[in-house]
């Protein structure tokens, strides 16, 4: 009798354990997106991967009706060093990608404004010379935008300084408005 009871309890525990299926074993866990803007500024590697809490949806967004994209990341929390992009007059939903965008005053063409602020709080921006800076939007799928960029940015004022950005990569999740 005890042997039958032990056998029954063993079988019951095996069945109970095997029926505890929390999730489909074939279901993959969600992929965590790496959100960053990386580039070299005059040959120095810059990794902007700090998310601006509570402001991230504003600074990393695609405004459908306004046909604009904003992207921003900082290097750290304690410093203003970072990279900002503003792309206007750009209908991402109806544009074949990849597409390269430069500064343009033509109201029928997309335009980009880029600002890099270094660790000394000096800001460099794109100029009205459309041959100096460009960004290529490679893909936009499931709110993830990937881009490459390069070119020269300039300080404003009497003593204009130039900085060269190379090997620029953007990988950000955008909020769509």
The span from the CA of 169 to the CA of 135, in Å, is 9
Picking from 30-39, 140-149, 155-164, which range would have the lowest pLDDT averaged per residue? 30-39
What average pLDDT score do residues 114-120 get? 95
Asked if 58 and 44 touch (Cβ cutoff 8 Å), the reply is no
- pLDDT tens sequence across 144-160: 999 999 999 999 877 88
Q: How many CB atoms lie within 10 A of CB 20?
A: 6
Q: Give domain limits for the chain.
A: 52-176
Residue 25 has pLDDT above 60, yes or no: no
- Residue 166 in this model has a pLDDT that exceeds 50: yes
């Amino acid at each position: 009798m005890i042997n039958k009871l032990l056998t029954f309890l063993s079988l019951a525990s095996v069945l109970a354990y095997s029926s505890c299926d929390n999730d489909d074993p074939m279901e993959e866990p969600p992929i965590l997106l790496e959100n960053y803007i990386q580039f070299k500024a005059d040959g120095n590697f810059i990794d902007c991967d700090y998310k601006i809490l509570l402001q991230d949806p504003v600074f990393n967004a695609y405004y459908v009706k306004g046909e604009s994209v904003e992207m921003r990341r900082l290097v750290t929390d304690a410093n203003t060093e970072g990279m900002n992009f503003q792309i206007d007059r750009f209908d991402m939903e109806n544009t074949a990608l990849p597409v390269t965008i430069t500064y343009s005053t033509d109201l029928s063409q997309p335009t980009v404004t880029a600002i890099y602020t270094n660790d000394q709080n000096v800001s460099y921006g794109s100029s009205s010379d459309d041959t100096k800076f460009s960004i290529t939007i490679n893909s936009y799928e499931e709110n993830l935008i990937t881009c490459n960029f390069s070119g020269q940015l300039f300080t404003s004022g009497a003593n204009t300084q130039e900085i060269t950005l190379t090997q620029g990569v953007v990988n950000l999740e955008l909020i769509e408005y």
